[in-house]
Structure 1
């Protein structure tokens, strides 16, 4: 499959002695694609943690980046995203799996080769696996999964596997599975597959967005359906309460563990339909943000924020910048002459979205690869955006939400694919 991202993925061996009962970590042998799958795979380990505690590393942020020249991934710890003097140690990261969650100095990774959910922790002397849960008998499909936080130490994983929706709830502190089971979303015809999948938890309700496609998504040939569907479940019971649909856009997700495409603002859900040629292949359908009214359990008929018309442009991913602002990647279609252009060329530009007022502003950044990554973070006053430049470095920009100004911050070698707080 052409996964969403990850340019120049190569086989990398783990050069340190493995932790007892853990195999050496490595990249699977994958041909060069684009920066994002690597960005979705990432793990962090530490020599100083017992299973139920974490260590304060003395740094505020962890930046995961990929250096294509060295063909290596790194973790850089920093205290400030703006001050170069606050940059801490840079540690090589070798991993095999998809990051599903991060909490303080730990990253939690689904390793498909081991069939295990693995906890890795950052330490002063390196990175190390400290605990794992067997996933041998639990179905999970990375490209049709999403993760929701139930509370500060519990995640709910949703996934589609073998034509069925399932859930898995994990206590990250105890490293145990609380429960698992089916999500009873109405079945589709046998020739269809669920695609464009994502979910959000709001006020004791789980909202799952999806669409259908004949054949497998990986083929990128058959257009998806023209309709976005939504199923609403009670939580914690996870019993189906209602379903609804909307045909103003489609393909409301997928690759959600690699990059976000929906967010919660003022207790309502904003979900981006991304039906363009890179995902749903329903050409001419607008890339629009729809609002899920979580009180009425419907798509708000009065809200339709069109980001790209589907004829001249397409939009992908929806990064939360706080206070009703978001970031999306827009691809002008005059730059797309074949599917490979999505994968290897700098075809996208970042746009700032005002969800409240439905306004779009192109940011004065260079064109970037169409990437699936978590390359933003925000706080009370500012949002931070990582922009991967042609010189092989990532420039962090600070966006001031009060006066709408941009300011340069840290310059990090390689392409940043994840920014996390190491102190919460």
Structure 2
């Protein structure tokens, strides 16, 4: 039977539309016909429900987490995850275990676990595809920085040890690490100290510390200090704060704003360790707060070609920490890193959610998850070459926030 040209176009359009709707449906539970997805989304739903939703594409379509996702309520899960090659890694604090999961139909299935006592994960670094280095403080008093190396294919702990980072002293009561990076058999760790004022309030020292260790011996080489900003990085299980460019220069952002360091008097800035060097570039400091942005920022994503996107707050739109998460007040800016110039503000709706892993860069496209009060929850596509923006996948139904997006492959 022949189709008219008009009917043929209608038929093709209908097929493509149905495919986009199916792109975020559940994994096939029959292992013989298992379908691997390309992306994972962590969704905070209404009434505090939480979901993990796996998708084939972020470019288009509509997804309902309550229909196609894994409901996480009742499981020891939250957004501080490590997502890699189709698996999810999470520190279960009640069990004192580092647990490996995968999605299995409508639920998360535990694959294996490794006992981790008296340890909290601040940051991770993949030594290779199946070996991860975890860095964080002890949980007795958060005064000592520890490291753990885990072989993730069978979840075996290879090494546990302490790092020679001085314990907090004077008015400071805890230490937190903000990034970890391995270069030329040397381990760089950024950290700072905090003072707990009340159960819900704290402040941070005015100094960024950079510790250098030999690897794999974990012997300390030296500790450098820099007072141009404080709180280097943050918990990269929640949001990224650092990267290497094509030449091997390492950039990291400081986060002294109220949502992390609570030292809003200090500027948010970007530091650099030049390729082949083992110390901060004293001639480089991209002062975000001192630029036309005139605000604090949380999270940075490298696009390639010396450009990056940061997520900045609008301090005129929120009252304080009480509504910092729920009020749409975040904007996205494009930066030129070598020159220290702000290139433009991306024409996206105001975003909400204090800290999120909300950008994936694939080729010439940056996928940006935006939680808009007015327009809803979308993955936006930013064409890096042309600068054009358009809406992609829509998250609807029970979706309240898109907390993180991750590539599964």
Give me the TM-score of the superposition, normalised by structure 2.
0.81
User: 2:325 is paired with a residue of what secondary structure?
Assistant: helix
Moved more, 305-314 or 108-117: 305-314
1:76 maps to 2:53: yes
Q: Is 1:332–1:347's contact at 8 Å kept on the other side of the alignment?
A: yes
Partner of 1:315: 297
Mapped to 2, the partners of 1:87 and 1:344 lie a distance apart of: 21
Query: How far did 1:146 drift?
Result: 0.5
Query: Deviation of residue 218 (structure 1)?
Result: 6.3
Q: 1:262 to 1:176 in 2, by over 3 A?
A: same
Equivalent position of 2:86 in the other structure: 105
Post-superposition Cα deviations, 1:233-280, rounded to whole Å, max 9, x if no partner, equal 122222212221211111113333211222222322211111122222
SS in 2 for 1:168: strand
Instruction: Determine the structure 1 residue equivalent to 2:336.
Output: 354
Residues 12-52 of structure 1: CA distance to partner in whole angstroms, max 9, x if unpaired? xxxxxxxxxxxxxxxxxxxxxxxxxxxxxxxx999788xxx
Instruction: Determine if contact 1:46/1:121 at 8 Å carries over to the other structure.
Output: no
Match of 1:25 in 2: none
Contact 1:45 1:121 in 2 (8 A): no
Q: Residues 221, 57 of structure 1: CA spacing in aligned structure 2 closer, same or farther, 3 A cutoff?
A: same
Deviation for aligned residue 1:381: 1.7
User: Are the counterparts in 1 of residues 27 and 105 from structure 2 also a CA contact under 8 Å?
Assistant: no
1:297 to 1:216, Cα distance in 2 relative to 1, 3 A: farther
Residues 351/176 of structure 1: CA separation in 2 closer, same or farther (3 Å cut): same
Give the corresponding residue for 1:233. Answer: 213
> Deviation of residue 168 (structure 1)?
0.6
> Would you say 1:409 and 2:386 are equivalent positions?
no
Correspondence for 2:17: none
Report what 2:405 is aligned to. Answer: 419
1:139 to 104, 115, 118: 118
Task: Output the CA distance in 2 between the equivalents of 1:282 and 1:260.
Answer: 20
Higher Rg: 2
SS of the residue 2:296 aligns to: strand
For structure 1, which segment, 156-165 or 370-379, has the greater mean C-alpha deviation from structure 2 after superposition? 370-379
Equivalence for 1:330: 312
Report the counterpart of residue 293 of structure 1 in structure 2: 274
- With over 3 angstroms needed to count, the CA separation of the structure-2 counterparts of 1:81 and 1:275, relative to structure 1, is same
Structure 1 residues 343 and 386 mapped into 2: Cα distance closer, same or farther (>3 Å)?
Answer: closer
CA distance in 2, matches of 1:181, 1:111: 20
Q: CA deviation at 1:158?
A: 0.2
How much has 1:176 moved relative to structure 2?
0.8
* C-alpha distance in structure 2 between counterparts of 1:240 and 1:226, whole Å: 23
Aligned to 2:322: 340
Q: How far has the Cα of 1:57 moved from its partner?
A: 2.6
Q: How many residues align?
A: 370
Tell which deviates more after alignment, 160-169 or 260-269: 260-269
Deviation (angstroms), 1:159:
0.3
1:217 & 1:147 partners in 2: Cα distance?
Answer: 29
Is the deviation greater in 368-377 or in 308-317? Answer: 308-317
Query: Structure 2 residue aligned with 1:127, among 95, 98, 108?
Result: 108
Structure 1 spans left out of the alignment, 5+ residues: 1-43
Alignment partners' CA distance in 2, 1:230 and 1:348: 29
Deviation at 1:148, TM superposition (A): 0.7
CA RMSD of aligned residues (A): 3.0
Deviation, structure 1 residue 230: 0.2
**Alpha-carbon distance in 1 for matches of 2:339, 2:349:** 26
Where structure 2 has 5 or more consecutive residues not aligned to the other structure, the ranges are: 1-25
Query: What does residue range 52-201 of structure 1 map to in structure 2 within 5 Å?
Result: 57-68=35-46, 70-84=47-61, 90-94=68-72, 95-98=75-78, 99-124=80-105, 126-135=107-116, 138-142=117-121, 145-161=122-138, 162=141, 163-189=143-169, 191-192=171-172, 193-195=174-176, 197-201=178-182
